Chains A and B, each alone.
Chain A
Amino acid sequence: MNKGRRLVLKVALLLWLPLLATLLGGAIKPYYGGEAVIRLNEPTSFHLNTANYSNLIFSSLIYESFFYLKKDGEITSNVFREYRYDAAVRTLFLSVKDNLSFSNGKPLTAKNIQVSLKVFMGSDLITASRLSKAVKGIRIGEGQVAIELLADNPDIVSMLTAPELVVLAEDEQSFSGPFYPQEWEKGRSLILNSNPFYAGGRTYLDRVRVTFTEGQAPDLFLAGPGQFKDNFLEFDSGIYQNIYLCFLQGDIGQNTKVALYSLLQRFNEATGFKYRGLNALTADEESPVSIRIKALTPQKTASILKYSEIKLYALSSLSYLEKDLNAFLKSSNLKIEMLFVDDSQFMAFLDSAAIKYVLIDKIFQKKAPAEEKISRILKETSFNQFNAKYLRMLSELDEARFSNSQELLTEQIARISEAIISDGFIFPLFQKNYALYVSRSLPSLEVDYYGRPLLQKVGKANE
């Protein structure tokens, strides 16, 4: 049986999923109603933003993915009635379910799928550029989207499971996800109502309250692993968050870079090593290169930074550092000012010479291949210093990937890591591992491959 045929069979199973779900309720019908409280970082807008884990979760509540990748590798979709890859014409056919609507009742059609796919392919993401390179054209017909490929690739669907590939509407008031925004009390909470037109079938919950403060005990939140075991179910999120110190201008002296690095290491020490030290660009366990930057003594650090007036920018996704870091910097008597900038605005600041030092974070899937991660780091953190040398390195990495030689691949990853570090535009600082904690009052919650909680079939007992 060829791969195309296998896909069709999978689709046949997918078609029955809603019906199977029908029956999973048991003799006692499931209860519709109630509210779940989720604690996340406050978003800056309702635009799609998956730059960090908190935003990734938030986006998954209001935007529907083309496809879901489960932890066991199963691929499912709520939007497509069927998908079929025809190897003869190198085309993936996606059949959109009939009568779908966005949250405000406006029709969700094949045209929306086509536009959403093009927006994704135009984004600055490695998965998007890979897909963009593979696609020759996208056509739409009656309820169908045809993605024609440049070369035969029966696994094309797996490229469409990226969490950033979501169904977008033409206007800002329409949402495709299981919930839609209802009321936003800035700085406190955001109420999301159940989307009555959700393609996967209306959620059991009537509402999700996203809180941004510590006050109300949430049903779902993120924290370091191994805590809260008594009252919450702990899920391995399957991701980690790396924090890097980046230098955006080429005129920064090595001493200053290392002094700032040393200062931030000492900040971690002062917090009782809240964050795990990172000695690699990806993860210590998988990197062929161990990066050891010798920290300077406090005296040396102080003498180097004493006369500098440093503006240390940080992405707003790192705002949880603000309180501790500001207090630490204040106690160091150095003229270092912390400034937080929104993820979506950050790219616009890049052309400004004013930004020299920036703390950024990157979320990685633990299971993603190391070459994919290193490629992403090189592309997404070299900013305006990306040059022909890096482009060549990425091409060589691609070649190594297709050579089927693990040795060659490891060697190329090591070469890129060394080049990045010696060029000095990025220093790895810390790694944060996340667990997703779910209240025991919310059973049946699943987490997908990307660590996103799937709230569709989560219900509360009759209240």
Chain B
Amino acid sequence: MIIFNNVTKIYEDNKARALEDVSFHVEKGEFVFLVGHSGAGKSSIIRMLLCEETPTKGKVYVNGHDIGALSHKEIPFLRREIGVVFQDFRLLPSRTVYENVAFAMRIVGASTKQMRRRIPEVLNMVGLSRKAKAYPSQLSGGEQQRVSMARALANNPSILIADEPTGNLDSEKAAEIMAILEDINNRGTTILMATHAEKLVNEMHKRVITLDRGHLISDQKEGVYTIGI
């Protein structure tokens, strides 16, 4: 599903070595935490998975596609197989919850009928059925993140990438988000989540990949947060 084979990433503008010979595989249906300090290389991995960057050395495969070999025109179609959730939610403030989710479906050419069927489903999945007509500004941070998750799930992605999804939330809301992510994972979606939230990682007992200054320093099956310990 996701394969990193001896990946090195050197950014051309500042010659920084963001990743150094990193290799790991993520199988279908796995839940993987990506942990490490700022600058450890988590964002570089996510940027490669979203085809924003290509590796300087090595290969990255997502759902069988070599992302270094994809043409500019092929990238959107791979992105449709991946849902993405950001720390800052990235919702459209001028659109309602329903419209924010519909926006993602419209992009892939879904019909109104398909949207009417799917959007209530995903809003129900994230517990926001009653907030469909609300605007993001009328929602709490946790609710906004749930809208962002509903949007990511709208097109049935096989992989969900979550970049610090609980970073802006208190522990109670963060736990709610984690519960929803676990539910999504139980439905068969592969999840890769970058985080600093030590407590959440330790409570989940999922696979933990730890990065430090661009190096993969540990990959534990039912791991714990080890950075700084």
- Please indicate whether A and B come from the same complex rather than being unrelated chains: no
> Could you tell me which B residues sit within 8 Å of A by CB distance?
none
